[in-house]
Amino acid sequence: MIIGGHLYVDGLGCNWGLQATHPLSPDIVVQLMKDNGFNKVKLFEADPGAMEALGRSGIQVMVGIPNDMLAGLANSVRAAEEWVQQNVSNYLSRRGVDIRYVAVGNEPFLKTYNNRFTQITYPALQNIQAALIKAGLGRDVKATVPLNADVYQSDSGLPSGGNFRTDIHDLMVSIVKFINDNGAPLTINIYPFLSLYADSHFPVDFAFFDGNASPVVDGSISYTNVFDANYDTLISALEKTNRGTPKRPTLPDIYLFSLIDEDAKSIDPGNFERHWGVFYYDGTIKYPLDLGRGRNLTAAKGVRYLARQWCVMAPDADLLNPNLAQSINTACTYADCTSLGFGSSCGGLDARSNASYAFNMYYQTMNQRSGSCEQFHNLSIITRIDPGFRDSSCRYEIMIDTGRHAQRRNPGTSSAGKTMAGSFVFWAVVLVLVVCGCLN
């Protein structure tokens, strides 16, 4: 659990996403996890670089299958067997990867998918589990489906009223029974931040974990944060739809979402999608977090960057230049400018600094390629003076040299941001819960 910025768990997992234009070296990420006490990780796909780096690392792995693969796996036992052989058996035996779970899809029953994956998720789960058993891995590796918390709801608004959504009720009962019969975990993604993001009237304190919120009383139980309330809504749903009573003798496994920011994620749900990380894109510390036992976050080591230079708006460039707006739009079409959004870490810049930020993000995303700063109608120049503001949460980035550039440096500004997109605090952390033994 997270209470007042302190983590109270014996072991801690994280989600490691790979949708970045300039990803950290997998070896650096694995060391980052080890340095910060993460002993479990969920991957959204069986990325070869990530899987090989996790070999013999001592980190337990949940390896994911993307939703766009579900149809093929649902329709072919052979396809499931081939996937298990290539992505589970191979890495277990040849690379020493400690794979514990296979995550079949990711939140496939989201309402926004309009039932695209509703009929194929369960058959895909069954085929993957059967393939694991055939490969002799059924006792050690379990198949599960990471589900969004919107698979259950409460008509009363209280946790005790929890039940599965009516449109997938029977399907959820079947899935829960199947994973329980196979000794697998039930995996639920709970997003305290999104409760706050979706409702302007949502009580802010209730999205945090410091216990300062006015309690929500449900019978004899009081809730002071949305995470606990949401979790118990799930428990109530399980109690109502199964003959047994859910067993909760120990805390569930907890996976924080996410380890590192991903600047190439879709922002259709919101700009925040690129800023879930506990760490910035390069493994630097975003905000203070006490990991328990007096241990604080440790930044990534051995990161190499592109040259220490930035692309900014030229001092003599005119803010009234008719090409300026289009130049900024072009830059932000091909680079991540979400930190310029309202309320974000760079949202308060003046017009010239705003343009400089956009130009620089494009320049860095293009690997500082020759000509990439000069294309903005003579509005931009390259500088070796850090344009960032001291004591500001707005960072003018220099990208990671994915070709292992020899020059090392610390990024220009590393203040701990406390605004929305670009620098999330604790209520923007998603917890992935693995709830085991859900049925008697």
Known catalytic residues are 107
Beta-carbon-side half-sphere exposure of residue 135 (alpha carbons within 13 Å): 26
E strand or H helix that includes residue 295: none
C-alpha span between 381 and 108 (Å, rounded): 46
**If we measure between CA atoms, which residue out of 397, 384, 389 comes closest to residue 305?**
397
Note the Cα 279 to chain centre separation in Å: 11
**If we measure between CA atoms, which residue out of 229, 252, 209 comes closest to residue 12?**
252
**Alpha-carbon distances, residue 111 vs 102, 147, 382 (angstroms):** 23, 12, 46
Asked whether 229 and 426 are in contact (CB, 8 A), the reply is no
Taking the alpha carbons of 204, 210, 215, 216 in that order, is the dihedral positive or negative?
positive
DSSP track, 139-175: TT-EEE-EEEGGGEEETTSSGGGEEE-GGGHHHHHHH
